[in-house]
Chains A and B, each alone.
Chain A
């Protein structure tokens, strides 16, 4: 038997995988449009650090002279982007999922600890539910960025019809610049997201397709020695199911580290065990041991 959690509801998986190609198409067609008036750069005064975009970049991606094509694609797929995003936000609100995503009071402080952990400067991360604090903040900001892209996009698409919105955003040219900045941020998010997904490993990626977060497989095997140990120590067979020797599973973001801490074991100085004990205290307190009983009955 395998212990799993239904991590991602089907709806969220659909929203996610629809969004991926749609954003890619929007960014790409957006670049075809941007090329026709590519005025943005990073720099000060006459000094340009980075031009958006260098000629070689345009050439490599075959961007030049495709404004009409870019517009025709952008103003069709904008509907998919906006509708998919809109339904996603509605879904978050009307399901309980928003609780896992929107930051809470502790998120800001904890997100620094997560970042330190990711940079290998800190051994443990604070206890988390579906997402850690940094993920909560990132996934909430991406929603705000999506809304920002729609609003700045609308105000440069129809600046007279949405004149109030356009002037709230600082006018036509500012709105265009903001729309561009959101696009850059989306691509940066994409790069970081991909790196994090690779680092998080297969179980995490699989959960975005199947929805299921699978507990580490080594779980049941490692249980056996604990049981045997118990029996020999006390001289009688205890009925499993009480909390006297529950397995502890660390599964930060479903990475699948199969860390098992036996109750008798004193945490060693090894960093993995330390990390585990931090999580252990908070995560497993109210956990019964369905795994054990389940396995016994099989």
Chain B
């Protein structure tokens, strides 16, 4: 027991010290329980208690500083890509969809919308990517996608002014699913407007004719069946953000 200096104190002093320590201890427990309860009584911001949301947004700023175009998602050989690609959601795909009427709408400015066909998009240089698609639920799958780099697309259609803004918003033709993405992530060299899976046109349940593949984000941001693209300095609405998820959802 002689690992530290032994000291003598009077019983009274010991009792007072013990009493003081336990009073502080119990007060801290009460304070912690109180703080935890308070945390859950705070007003919600997009489904999450305000203080938590503030920290999550701070996390975005903090971790997005790590994001640069040099941080690429790992790519895999073609043989690693699975044939049975998991389908995890059909929001925005349920309504009767008339393929013949589909055109990609790119809102450059209010009142200035670009309408593009799938052939217009296919005319741009094609990029293939085989990467580990990660779902926010925790599973992942190595999958193979083909399409046009968003950065190539933006350059071709002269979206320079637009891509200097902070965010891109995308939504399905029926507007039932929508995502907001920060500009560095959408301009990332691995982000593609995708029209092929495993070398074939996208299946309907994977968002035919055109979907987003953005490897630096969780699957929730890989919107299927793009109807509209617009640009904004404010955060565009985001389906899962409104349901309490992180806006950034970046990897």
Q: Is the CB of A75 within 8 A of B246?
A: yes
A-facing residues in B226-251 (Cβ within 8 Å): 240, 243-246, 250-251
Knowing A72-B52, A72-B56, A75-B56, the reply to whether A1 touches B11 (Cβ < 8 A) is: yes
> For residue B250, which residues in chain A have a CB less than 8 angstroms away from its CB?
158, 161
Asked if A159 is at the interface of the complex by the 8 Å CB criterion, the answer is yes
A7: interface (CB < 8 Å): yes
Q: Which residues of A contact B244 (CB under 8 A)?
A: 68-69, 72
Contact partners of B139 in chain A: CB under 8 A: 37, 39
| Closest residue of A by beta carbon distance from B55 | A76
A272: chain B residues at CB < 8 Å are none
Contact status B251-A158, CB under 8 Å: yes
Question: Which of A47-55, A85-93, A183-191, A203-211 lies at the binding interface?
Answer: A203-211
Of B3, B25, B63, B72, the residue contacting A17 (CB under 8 A) is B25
* Neighbour of B14 across the interface among A7, A72, A100, A212, CB < 8 A: A212
Answer whether residue B160 sits at the interface, using C-beta atoms and an 8 A cutoff.
no
Residues of A within 8 A of B (CB-CB), count: 53
Q: Given A4-B14, A37-B137, A37-B139, A161–B63 Cβ distance below 8 Å?
A: yes
In the bound assembly, the distance between CA atoms of A167 and B73 in angstroms comes to 12
Query: Can you list, as one digit per residue, whether each of A2-20 has a CB less than 8 Å from chain B (1) or not (0)?
Result: 1111110000000001000
Count residues on chain B whose CB falls below 8 Å from chain A CBs: 52
* Complex alpha-carbon distance, A283 and B3, angstroms: 10
Interface residue? A286 (CB, 8 A): yes
Residues in chain B near residue A246, CB distance under 8 A? none
User: 8 Å CB contacts to B: which residues of A33-49?
Assistant: 33-34, 36-37, 39
Beyond A2-B11, A213-B1, whether A68 also contacts B47 by CB under 8 A is yes
Chain A contacts of B140 at CB under 8 A?
172-173
The contact string, 1 if C-beta is below 8 Å from chain B, for chain A 277-298, is 0000001101100110010000
A151 interface residue, CB < 8 Å from B?
Answer: no
Complex alpha-carbon distance, A69 and B135, angstroms: 16
Complex A-B: 24 CB contacts under 8 Å: A4-B9, A5-B1, A6-B4, A6-B5, A36-B136, A68-B244, A68-B245, A72-B48, A72-B49, A72-B56, A72-B244, A76-B52, A158-B63, A158-B250, A160-B67, A160-B74, A160-B215, A161-B251, A176-B138, A206-B18, A209-B22, A212-B18, A249-B1, A291-B8
Interface residues of A (CB under 8 A from B): 1-7, 17, 21, 33-34, 36-37, 39, 67-69, 71-73, 75-76, 79, 100, 129-130, 158-163, 167, 172-173, 176, 206, 209-215, 249, 251, 283-284, 286-287, 290-291, 294
